[in-house]
Amino acid sequence: MNNDKPIFIIANPRSGTTLLRLILSSHSKILIPPESTFIAQYFSRYGHLEKMNKKVIQKFLRELYDDAQLEKRWEISFQNYFDHWAERYVGKSFADVCASLYKYYAEEKKMSKKIWGDKNVAYRNYLDLLFWLYPNARFIHIVRDSRAVFASYKKLLNVRHPNAPCVTKDPVKFSSIWLDSVLRIESFFCTHKACRSITIRYEDIVLQYDKTAEGLCSFLEIDFEKNMKEFYLINEKYNLEPKNFDEWKWRAREPLTDERVSRWRSELSDDEKGIISFLTGQELVKFGYEKRGIISEAQKTLNSKNGRILKRCLIKFRLRGILRNIRFRIVVFRKAIRSLEGFWPFKNSR
């Protein structure tokens, strides 16, 4: 079993995960690299291996270099890992080898940090997998007003970058994505160790920073440090967020500001606000947001139709989730079978 206590930041896209990653990485004990999905991406190939030999580790690293382009995303060289680190993890599990890559990132950045982590919105689809690999992990769900998230989506439509998130301009489809994300994450939190998970709001980070940051540090069992609020300076010093992402993440290099918290009110049309408020309203209220606006009879008819579309989208997402879970269970089963090799009761019965 891997005894690391990594931090996984999970959320719907455009909910403030980069901001939270940089704030936490400004703490003296934590460093979370730019987002990557290699743990989930390569789990089906290597997750069943309790002990990885040198040949398998080298193959895994080559795939990370060629396919996942981890060196480019993290903006570090893995040559030192090939030459010296890989040897240390021969005979270790897939979880241990993955953890070593995050620790190596800290060393290459010349930052002495004890706690590693990852942030990726895609990990909301692989929570069981992460919990199985790292049973002591801490999960942070950052949620943001669905209408503000959609306003941010619309701005991304003009960004032409291979690493920029793929988003939709359809408020109904967006509502299904946002709902599926928060319901999936909160459902996972309800069925796993409550002490290992926490949900915070983006708006609280911006408007009530000290209180929210102190609560987060308490959850992570670390001391609160005031310099965490100067994340933008530390980001500039160590280049924690790649500059080629600045086209849509330029705020990562600026201090906290509350100017975007309510801007969606003027940036969205009345129809967009009405549709999203109606379809996601129940969850908005649950997270402490106001469900504003008076819906006309004509709009109620429209929203009834949108509600049916929403249900079909959620069913589709659920089916995809079931297929992902089946693939995960297959890997777990393969690992269980490998662990039984040599222990069959009738193996030497002849």
Digit-coded pLDDT (tens) for 270-322: 888 888 988 898 899 999 998 765 454 445 555 566 667 667 776 776 677 67
Nearest to 146 by CA among 123, 118, 180, 119: 180
CA distance 125 to 187: 12
| CATH pick for 7-340 out of 3.40.50.150, 3.90.45.10, 3.40.50.300, 3.40.950.10 | 3.40.50.300
C-alpha 217/C-alpha 198 separation (Å) is: 11
Q: Taking a C-beta distance cutoff of 8 angstroms, is the pair 250, 278 a contact?
A: no
Tell me the per-residue pLDDT of 187-225, one tens digit each, with 9 for 90 and over. 999 887 767 999 999 999 999 999 999 999 999 999 999
User: What integer best gives the mean pLDDT of the chain?
Assistant: 85
pLDDT digits (tens, 9 = 90+) for 137-166: 999 999 999 999 999 999 888 887 777 778
For strands 197-201 and 30-31, give the pairing.
unpaired
Please report the pLDDT score of residue 49 as a whole number: 86
Dihedral sign, Cα of residue 207, residue 138, residue 37, residue 320: negative
Mean pLDDT over 236-257 rounds to 89
Q: What average pLDDT does the segment 12-16 reach?
A: 93
Domain ranges in the chain are: 7-340
- State the pTM of this model: 0.87
Beta strand 197-201 with 115-119: parallel, antiparallel or unpaired? unpaired
Name every residue whose Cβ is closer than 8 Å to that of residue 255 and which is 6 or more positions away in sequence: 229, 230, 232
How many CA atoms are closer than 13 Å to the CA of 59, on its beta-carbon side?
9
